[in-house]
């Protein structure tokens, strides 16, 4: 009886394709492709893909990469057994364009699309599954953590304009998960209007849709600068030592 119930649950679970944004220029890393740099002995991107591979809610992975990196990333997927990766495609002219191109390559039966930064290698499979489950209920969900610092807006002359209420602020992470049709429409609109969106949730919000927040993970940092890499190395070491 139990195996039958498990099969029923699997049938009801919406299929989800993860779209990995990996076509950035890594300018703040001195032009070195941070995704291919070692982190705890393996490339940063491998750790990102391994988390998606282990997430039960992810059925397929598509990577949008720089053209020069497509062959290497494809080989990485084979070497490290990332069997869910169905395609490594050429990214677009910017992040929105890259994610849209990947979204259009997703399997037709994918009901949800999970957009994840290639440079967030420390997200756990549990977080990924939690956000996917939330999006299955509400169509748009993103992980977020409380802001620790006081945040101020400023005038053109450098003077403080306003101090924001920290209790109502959240720092948003990835994966950001959306109903497939909703995300594609949002990205197409943002691209057509050249809207300055900084994440996929912003594009969805522009359509008037509500995006719901899910508790994120403090360790789910995005590697942008050399300092971020140092922090990531420390986290990987602590995890491996069980700290």
State residue 234's pLDDT score: 97
State residue 66's pLDDT score: 95
Find the domain containing 84 and state its range. 2-237
3-state helix, strand, coil in the chain (%, to 5): 40, 20, 35
State residue 39's pLDDT score: 97
138 found inside a domain: yes
Residues in the chain: 243
Greatest C-alpha distance within the chain: 70
State residue 24's pLDDT score: 81
Regions of the chain short of the pLDDT cut 50: 1, 5, 8
**The total number of structural domains that make up the chain:** 1
Whole-angstrom Cα distance, residue 145 to residue 151? 15
242 found inside a domain: no
145 found inside a domain: yes
Whole-angstrom Cα distance, residue 45 to residue 37? 8
- Cα separation of the two ends of the chain: 40
- Read off the CATH number of the domain in which 182 is found: 3.90.550.10
What does pTM read for this prediction? 0.91
State residue 67's pLDDT score: 95
243 found inside a domain: no
63 found inside a domain: yes
Neighbouring C-beta atoms of residue 186, cutoff 10 Å: 26
Give 117's strand partners. Answer: 21
Whole-angstrom Cα distance, residue 64 to residue 20? 6
């Amino acid at each position: 009886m139990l195996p039958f119930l498990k099969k029923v649950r699997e049938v009801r679970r919406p299929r989800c394709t993860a779209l990995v944004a990996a076509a950035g220029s890594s300018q703040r890393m001195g032009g070195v492709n941070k995704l291919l740099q070692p982190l705890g002995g393996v490339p940063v991107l491998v750790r990102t893909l391994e988390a998606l591979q282990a997430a039960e809610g992810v059925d397929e992975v598509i990577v949008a990469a720089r053209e020069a990196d497509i062959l290497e990333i494809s080989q990485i997927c084979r070497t490290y057994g990332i069997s869910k990766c169905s395609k490594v495609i050429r990214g677009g002219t910017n992040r929105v364009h890259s994610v849209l191109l990947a979204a259009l390559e997703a399997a037709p039966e994918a009901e949800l699309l999970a957009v994840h930064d290639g440079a967030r290698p420390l997200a756990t499979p549990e977080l990924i599954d939690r956000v996917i489950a939330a999006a299955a209920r509400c169509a748009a969900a993103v992980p977020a953590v409380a802001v620790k610092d006081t945040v101020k807006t400023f005038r053109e002359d450098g003077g403080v304009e306003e101090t924001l209420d920290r209790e109502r602020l959240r720092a948003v992470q990835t994966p950001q998960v959306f109903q497939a049709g909703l995300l594609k429409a949002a990205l197409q609109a943002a691209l057509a209007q050249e809207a300055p969106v900084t994440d996929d949730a912003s594009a969805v919000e522009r359509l008037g849709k509500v995006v719901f927040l899910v508790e994120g993970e403090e360790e789910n940092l995005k590697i942008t600068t050399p300092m971020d890499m140092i922090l990531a190395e420390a986290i990987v070491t602590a995890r491996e030592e069980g700290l």
